[in-house]
């Protein structure tokens, strides 16, 4: 029933268009008539203000503020900071930030400051130096935490 109603409606629209033909005059494309725009000065958007907690958030972790344990790990790393991990193919890399603010990737065996990267997984980076071991945890499984020890882990 519905197709018949739609077909009848389409035939009525076609008949109307044929009868009316070119009776409608559409305006020519071009500028709108009238005077020049009055005083349209270019407005610049105001600078964006970002809450410091959001501005300091690492793009690799889904938490808003790193807990106190994370700050303890970063002091163990000196002026370096482990901010996340990525996987390229089968290789995992720690993402670290250097003292100059540059971000770099470090695979197993590479150094982040005095620490050597021992292993990288999706949720943690394992570091070692002179008999000490440290694990920096992050990611969706929980907040940023660290565990440091003298190799007896």
- Domain-located, residue 49: no
Which residues of the chain are modeled with pLDDT < 70? 22-27, 30-45, 53-75, 139-153
CATH of the domain at 94: 2.30.30
Distances (CA, A) of 68 to 16, 60, 65, 99, 146: 76, 18, 9, 20, 10
Structure token pair of residue 40:
């349209």
Element (H, E) at 83: strand 81-88
What tens digit of pLDDT does each residue of 21-40 get?
A: 766 666 677 666 665 555 55
What tens digit of pLDDT does each residue of 109-133 get?
A: 999 988 999 999 888 899 999 888 9
In three-state secondary structure terms, 13 is helix
76: containing domain = 62-149
Average per-residue pLDDT for the chain: 75
- Domain-located, residue 139: yes
> What's the domain count of the chain?
1
pTM as predicted: 0.46
């Amino acid at each position: 029933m519905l197709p018949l109603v739609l077909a009848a409606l389409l035939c009525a629209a076609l008949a109307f268009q044929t009868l009316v033909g070119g009776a409608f005059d559409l305006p020519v494309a071009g500028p709108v008539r009238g005077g020049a725009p009055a005083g349209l000065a270019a407005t610049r958007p105001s600078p964006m203000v970002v809450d410091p907690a959001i501005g300091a958030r690492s793009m690799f972790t889904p938490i808003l503020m790193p807990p106190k344990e994370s700050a303890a790990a970063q002091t163990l790393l000196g002026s370096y900071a482990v901010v996340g991990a990525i996987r390229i193919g089968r290789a995992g890399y720690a993402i670290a930030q250097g003292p100059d603010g540059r971000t770099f990737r470090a695979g197993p065996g590479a150094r982040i400051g005095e620490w050597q990267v021992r292993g990288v997984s999706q949720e943690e980076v394992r570091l070692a130096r002179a008999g000490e071991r440290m694990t920096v945890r992050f990611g969706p499984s929980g907040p940023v935490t660290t565990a440091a020890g003298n190799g007896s882990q």
